[in-house]
Structure 1
Amino acid sequence: MKQPILVTEHLSHVYMQGTPMEHRALDDVSIQIDRGECIAIIGHTGSGKSTLIQHFNGLMRPQSGSVIINGMNVSDPKLDVKALRRQVGLVFQNPEDQIFEKLVGDDVAYGPFKMGLPIEEVRRRVEWAMELVGLSFEEMKDRPTFALSGGQKRKVALAGVLSLQPKILVLDEPTAGLDPRSRNELLERIKRLNTEERLTVIFVSHNMEEVAHLADRVYVMANGRAVCEGTPRSIFSNQELLHTHHIGTPESVDILYRLRAEGYQVDPGAYSVDEAADQIAHLIGR
């Protein structure tokens, strides 16, 4: 039985309201995310994705509509924001924005220390979170944060969020700027967090390979609205939707569309590399 963990209803947000620079970033957005899902939020720049996810941990409060996170109403003036942020961990696109300490171990421990946990529990959480994202606790805990690579900084930021043991992990462009090896490693870590740790994952991405690899469902944002929702298969097989909202496709899907344009009978909804390869192999064999 599905259990909603995050629900927005008729959520709207206007920047610089009442001025000549007024901009409606969110317009009547209603979405539902169930416990344990991995959800991608996609759309062109300016579609409202980042504004939407900032409502998920109380960085922004609803101007109109509602956001309910695991039973907590983000509109409630008495909301315990610290408690909300222990439920929802947000990892920014730029990891430097949330690295505060000089040493890796101290930075990952920052959140648990602020929670007032016993030192033994802080150490246990730091070691657990670092190992989970692929950072050796013994090798990395005393490493200066300024000397880290971009991929390592992203892992430290992720570990710092995970050390709070949130119920929901929100990621803004999780692999932006990473080399292919670091990107693939981080994607596998995120997938394991979702499938093995049963962490609900929500991520914003322009990279459709990431979406195809990770997401159970996809929300498409355009002009501040959630214009479509579906599985990666249903989204990537809808060529009119992709064209209307300027959404890219994974390379495997792009190849299948080009083959179909040449008259071959293929299914572009077969978005995984293995499925696409099977279709191409079948064509060659025939």
Structure 2
Amino acid sequence: MPQNLIIEVENLSHTYMKGTPMEHTALKGTNMYVEEGECIAIIGHTGSGKSTMIQHFNGLMRPETGKVIIGGEDLSQKKLDLKSLRRKVGLVFQNPEDQIFEKLIGDDIAYGPFKLGLPLKEVRERVKWAMEVVGLDFEEMKDRQTFALSGGQKRKVALAGILALKPKILVLDEPTAGLDPRSRNELLDKIKFLNKVEGLTVVFVSHNMEEVAYLADRIYVMAGGTDVLTGTPKDIFSDKEKLQRYQIGTPETVQVLYRLTDLGYSVNTAAFTISEAADEIIKVLAGREEGNHVQ
């Protein structure tokens, strides 16, 4: 087991509405390990337990059975300091409206740091830093009204509000849902910057395999309330048998490569990045041209 773990989940189970006709087991014997500084994607079909899992990371849910340890803090402890935990773990929900409640952008982002009891000067510095990180101009946007923002801007404000708390772990639920392609790409670049440059540990849930391939160091595949597969994007996307067994989607690049293999061409299906896939396609085209030339 890795030595510098920041998230440890062992044999975690959770049942909603236990003892009622609506009883539903969302997690059963799930395991997950995240090293400090990693970017981890959690994927799986709706109902596989992904959102229930990440809500344990900042104490919104507490373990029924099993163990969850975040940065050395055992979430099973009755005297757990939830405020301290939530300073350490920032959770950004799928719907930004769930996290925005102040009238002005600057006030909304400053809400968390003020609750920490920080002096006004430090609050202002944190708000400015967080806004700049997510691509919102401080002077131009701080006094804008939140209700008038686009969906992409609201998502940036919700993320900035979490970043202003300076968490060690950033947890994102479908971070680009509903965004146009330009806003989506901008946000993905910001998340990558936070992970690779600022050193935040990032865990995100997504149905979009392109963003999983772009961001993730490792992937956890969930099905039926438990973890069924883990590995690097190359490990996961190059295993056609497991992709079919667990009905895992793939980036469009991988789909193209598998289609080429079905047609009889020899290509590396682990070449899932756009540049790597392009190289494989160029090899195929070059081979066809040589074949035509010989004939």
Match of 2:47 in 1: 46
Which ranges in structure 1 are unaligned for 5 or more consecutive residues?
none
Match of 1:183 in 2: 184
Match of 2:292 in 1: none
Amino acid at match of 1:280: I
Amino acid at match of 1:104: I
Q: How many angstroms apart in 2 are the aligned matches of 1:244 and 1:206? A: 17
Larger radius of gyration: 2
Q: How many angstroms apart in 1 are the aligned matches of 2:28 and 2:269? A: 31
Amino acid at match of 2:226: R
> 1:44, 1:245 within 8 Å by CA — same for their partners in 2?
no
Q: In the alignment, does 2:246 pair up with 1:245? A: yes
Match of 1:214 in 2: 215
- Displacement of 1:186: 0.3
Match of 1:14 in 2: 15
TM value normalised by structure 1: 0.99
Match of 1:86 in 2: 87
Give the stretch that moved more between structures: 1-10 or 159-168: 1-10
Measured against aligned partners, the alpha-carbon deviations of 1:151-204 in whole angstroms (never above 9, x if no partner) come to 000000000000000000000000000000000000000000000000000000
Q: How many angstroms apart in 1 are the aligned matches of 2:233 and 2:154? A: 29
- Displacement of 1:244: 1.6
Paired residue total: 286
Structure 1 counterpart SS, 2:15: strand
Which aligned pairs between 1:43-192 and structure 2 lie closer than 5 A? 43-192=44-193
Amino acid at match of 2:144: R
Structure 1 counterpart SS, 2:228: strand
Measured against aligned partners, the alpha-carbon deviations of 1:9-51 in whole angstroms (never above 9, x if no partner) come to 1100011112222111001011110000000000000000000
Q: In the alignment, does 2:205 pair up with 1:201? A: no
> 1:54, 1:60 within 8 Å by CA — same for their partners in 2?
yes
The runs of at least 4 consecutive aligned structure 1 residues that moved more than 6 Å come to none
Structure 2 counterpart SS, 1:178: coil
Q: How many angstroms apart in 1 are the aligned matches of 2:165 and 2:227? A: 30
Amino acid at match of 2:8: V
Match of 1:27 in 2: 28
Give the stretch that moved more between structures: 2-11 or 88-97: 2-11
Structure 2 counterpart SS, 1:14: strand
Amino acid at match of 1:35: E
Structure 2 counterpart SS, 1:111: helix
Structure 1 counterpart SS, 2:283: helix
- Displacement of 1:2: 4.8
> 1:2, 1:35 within 8 Å by CA — same for their partners in 2?
no
- Displacement of 1:269: 1.2
Give the stretch that moved more between structures: 235-244 or 133-142: 235-244
Amino acid at match of 2:277: A
Q: How many angstroms apart in 1 are the aligned matches of 2:67 and 2:191? A: 28
Measured against aligned partners, the alpha-carbon deviations of 1:89-142 in whole angstroms (never above 9, x if no partner) come to 000000000001000000000000001100011001000000011000000000
Q: How many angstroms apart in 2 are the aligned matches of 1:30 and 1:88? A: 19
Q: How many angstroms apart in 2 are the aligned matches of 1:21 and 1:128? A: 45
Q: In the alignment, does 2:219 pair up with 1:228? A: no
> 1:150, 1:178 within 8 Å by CA — same for their partners in 2?
yes
TM value normalised by structure 2: 0.96
